[in-house]
Amino acid sequence: MSSGDKTRILTGITTSGTPHIGNYVGAIRPAIEASKNKDNLSFYFLADYHALIKCQDPKAVHQSTQEIAASWLALGLEPEEVVFYRQSDIPQIPELSWMLSCVCAKGLMNRAHAYKAAVDANQANNEDSDFAISMGLFSYPVLMAADILMFNANKVPVGKDQIQHVEMARDMAQRFNHLFASKKQPLLTLPEYQVDAYVAVLQGLDGRKMSKSYGNTIPLFLGEKQLRKHINKIKTNLLEPGEPKDPDTSTVFQIWQAFASPEQLIDMRQAFADGIAWGEAKKQLFELINGEIGEARERYNELMTQPAYIEDVLQAGGAKARQYSEPLMAKIRASMGIHKLG
């Protein structure tokens, strides 16, 4: 199959944190799996311009970029088989972002939920509605649409909270095609979101969704001792060893489920019914997680000492990505009347 016929899968990872096991289970592991399917062409990128919206700590953005790139490579992403790049290495993305913002209704952005949540929070606190809201936050979905449309992505795997943004990208593509392309030969592909129902949303240490903003995560590549410590912190109830426990309300079991084989799942369910001690369940959970990521952790630690190597990988990925973005941008510019005179 030539690269032109393949289904293009595209997703971005905002570089404003350290990957945790929730990111791994919900996004990284399925993405690396999907990239092995020869019917797909995967575009995975580090969304460092997106990071600037919420993070104004230059060191943190830079550090996160290295950590996320090293994580994906350590976990088996094959940079030769996919297009793996850094958003800021593709000048056509912010260029398209501007063009889209000229065809995107402001009213559409008013409905974006990240912005609406910020306005609601301001109103609840008796602040001005616009307090601390940057243009970056407001027009975030336009930049995200540019990320997607610049590569004519067909499918965009995202978490539920991002569905609205992919739908907005679709709206912008439709509007753009209507204005600047013929019906027969649309310039921009209408993307579809992909939310895998079977991909778990992991619970964090306190039982709420695992999320950096709740401070309840288990970072992916903690050393063994630290990993054990974090797992021991997972909230449980006060049931004693020997008392039957309910797997379906247990965070320990929920995380177990994300790493276990079908047999291991059945066995742990039985162990809960038989009253396994929390300490023992946590010990087994540590071994299960450590077994799955132990080797990748070694590669990760090694990669983190080789930033120049990671940079080379990203440079090569950027060059590959621009082979798609440059010719499409030339067509987009021309369609809008931006081209040489004469």
Contact residues for ligand TRP, defined by CB under 6 A: 10-12, 14, 47, 50, 144, 147-148, 156, 158, 162
- Which residue lies nearer to ligand TRP by CB, 51 or 285? 51
Which is nearer to ligand TRP, 75 or 146 (by Cβ)? 146
How many alpha carbons fall within 13 Å on the CB side of residue 286? 19
Rounded CA-CA distance 28/67 in Å is 13
Least Å distance, CB 43 to ligand TRP, is 9
For residues 114 and 98, give the distance between their C-alpha atoms in angstroms, rounded to a whole number.
Answer: 20
CA distance 299 to 190: 38
CA 223 to chain centroid, in Å, comes to 23
- Rounded to 5 degrees, what are φ and ψ at 83? -110, 105
Distance of closest approach, residue 16 Cβ to ligand TRP, in angstroms? 9
The CB-of-156 to ligand TRP minimum distance in angstroms stands at: 5
Contact assessment for residue 14 and residue 210, using Cβ atoms and an 8 Å cutoff: no
Q: How far is the CB of 206 from ligand TRP (least distance, A)?
A: 22
Q: Which two tokens stand for residue 281?
A: 């369940």
Task: Kindly tell me which of 162 and 325 has the beta carbon lying closer to ligand TRP.
Answer: 162
Nearest to ligand TRP of 55, 119 (CB atom) = 55
Enumerate residues 6+ apart whose C-beta is below 8 A from 78: 35
Nearer to ligand TRP, 87 or 257 (CB): 87
The residue (of 47 and 271) whose beta carbon lies closer to ligand TRP is 47
Q: Nearest distance from residue 49's CB to ligand TRP, in Å?
A: 9
Q: Which residue is nearest to ligand TRP (CB)?
A: 12
Please name the residues in contact with 260: beta carbons below 8 A apart, sequence gap of 6 or more: 268, 288
For residue 26, the minimal CB distance to ligand TRP (Å) is 10
